[in-house]
Structure 1
């Protein structure tokens, strides 16, 4: 493993992607893709926030969603406080608006004093860190910290094999590596079918799931006026899982850093030459009942 790979920051052995400034740049670009995918909307939950309301952003990363969300509401004369949490501060901005607060917390164990605090909680793209036990703890915590009547919105992408984009020999091999890695880490797949009953079990109501397919490779990227990823952009995400793959022994496909790099580069070429590759994003909105007993957690 190269010195550069060793220097990438992985906040836990469970989370498959790094949390560093290189990853923050990728996430910022992905933020624009996701926002455009959902018709230039930062949220789909039926919100009616008022000045003074508190918002939680879980898995905040670089904070780009919170900054855009705050600016959008401020332009309408609505001043809100946003609490951004992540399990590491590595990607947090050095300067941020005074109403946005960054702290280090795990979504599975939030401060006790936050019970019934937030009018809205937003969480995006943590599926590559979550097994069943972690998801259950996270959903219970999100229910607890929301105000009665408050909304939760989860944004995730599909991790099932047929969404990966195996359109040639190299990308098929890459898909097989990911499938073995996900199995080894207990990553929950089929998140939309999994999360909806879990939310209901936790006590949420008015659960609504919307999906959007996003092209990868052969069609234009968002940066070029399209609505998807270039093969190179999609490849950057795959490069993020290189260290966990190598630590797992390569899963019989990519045993060295050089082999993994070559596999991703060849896959990028296959994606760019295909018009059939896509990924699917979900946004799942759910409401905490206006009057309900708290779960024992």
Structure 2
């Protein structure tokens, strides 16, 4: 990734413990707090390692994908994909305010790619990234950027009416359906009157799926249902925003190609999807009852099938405003 991100220094451990080892780590709090951040309780992180990957092991965290270096690299790709599909980093009508200077929260920031890029683009604004794992860079970053550890399903570690803009992108595999309304209410609380919220999600159902992709996705769905996730949540986010109290709700849907048939965007998106498929191996392979060879054959054939059927994935964007009074 060109520019600022090519200079990032990561401080993650490269050591890989044995499969299925659970490791309790030292408390990780705020790497650099903002004026809005409250004093945080101690958060003890726990990780489980399987198939050489590190996963969340928090009792109250439903996120199903890894939280290691490889996953952060995939999230960098995902950022590039969404930005190039949409044409920019946000769709809410807030550019003038960003130029002037406002406070922004990136809810579920992951490795912090969006937070860092936006902070570089809008030096007059202050950006805070929030995530349950501290996988963001700790050394090189813009002066107007900070990060906080926190869980979106809990009360957020910020005062009420702290932010002018809240951005939350692709947390569909981290927030079970029954908790989504709770998260929206938490974000509503920390958003200033008149402030904007923007939600970006991908529809896992996909478009024009082939047989192999369908086989894999059905296994993923079977697992997700055991964790409280169901189909269709991204298709009625606008209704959930209205139920929470937001107004001036608007949205957009874009179809992103998967595979070389869709040019560079499709090629990179296919890389992202295959990487995610590999990440879910620990839960999907037992459901499929595949041997290692059979599972690898499935992954090897997915790209060819994606191009044959010209597969696409829906990207949903919704933005809304907290009433001014």
TM-score (norm 1): 0.84
Query: Which residues in structure 2 correspond to 1:86-97 (within 5 Å)?
Result: 86-97=131-142
Partner of 2:5: none
Q: 1 CA distance for matches of 2:301 and 2:266?
A: 23
Task: Give, in angstroms, the shift of residue 165 of structure 1.
Answer: 5.2
Aligned match of 2:241 in 199, 204, 213? 199
Partner of 2:194: 149
Task: Give, in angstroms, the shift of residue 56 of structure 1.
Answer: 0.2
Partner of 1:264: 299
Deviations 1:144-179 (A, max 9, x none): 00000000001100022xx165313x2232122122
1:167 is aligned to 2:210: yes
Partner of 1:121: 166
Taking a change above 3 Å as real, the CA distance of residues 9 and 164 of structure 1, as seen in their structure-2 partners, is: farther
Partner of 2:252: 210
Q: 2 CA distance for matches of 1:261 and 1:159?
A: 21
Task: Give, in angstroms, the shift of residue 221 of structure 1.
Answer: 4.2
Deviations 1:98-135 (A, max 9, x none): 21111110112244542101000001111012212221
Taking a change above 3 Å as real, the CA distance of residues 212 and 228 of structure 1, as seen in their structure-2 partners, is: farther
Deviations 1:10-39 (A, max 9, x none): 224621211111111111111111101002
Query: Which residues in structure 2 correspond to 1:204-283 (within 5 Å)?
Result: 204-222=246-264, 226=265, 229=268, 231-246=270-285, 250-251=286-287, 253-272=288-307, 274-283=308-317
Q: 2 CA distance for matches of 1:215 and 1:194?
A: 23
Secondary structure of the 2:200 match is strand
Query: Which residues in structure 2 correspond to 1:21-170 (within 5 Å)?
Result: 21-39=69-87, 41-47=88-94, 48-49=96-97, 51-74=100-123, 79-111=124-156, 113-160=158-205, 163=206, 166-168=209-211, 170=212
Query: Which runs of 5 or more residues in structure 2 are unaligned?
Result: 1-17, 20-48
Query: Which runs of 5 or more residues in structure 1 are unaligned?
Result: 292-297
Secondary structure of the 1:127 match is coil
Q: 1 CA distance for matches of 2:193 and 2:131?
A: 24
CA contact (8 A) 2:132 2:150 kept: yes
Task: Give, in angstroms, the shift of residue 92 of structure 1.
Answer: 4.1
TM-align CA RMSD: 2.2
Taking a change above 3 Å as real, the CA distance of residues 177 and 268 of structure 1, as seen in their structure-2 partners, is: same
Q: 2 CA distance for matches of 1:189 and 1:92?
A: 34
Runs of 4+ in 1 over 3 A off after TM superposition: 2-7, 91-94, 110-113, 226-233, 254-259
Q: 2 CA distance for matches of 1:93 and 1:188?
A: 35
Task: Give, in angstroms, the shift of residue 53 of structure 1.
Answer: 1.6
CA contact (8 A) 1:155 1:281 kept: yes
Secondary structure of the 2:173 match is helix
Relative contact order higher in (CA < 8 Å, ≥ 6 apart): 1
CA contact (8 A) 2:258 2:266 kept: no
Q: Between Structure 1 and Structure 2, how many residues are aligned?
A: 274
Q: Structure 1 residues 112-121 or 181-190, which shifts more?
A: 181-190
TM-score (norm 2): 0.77
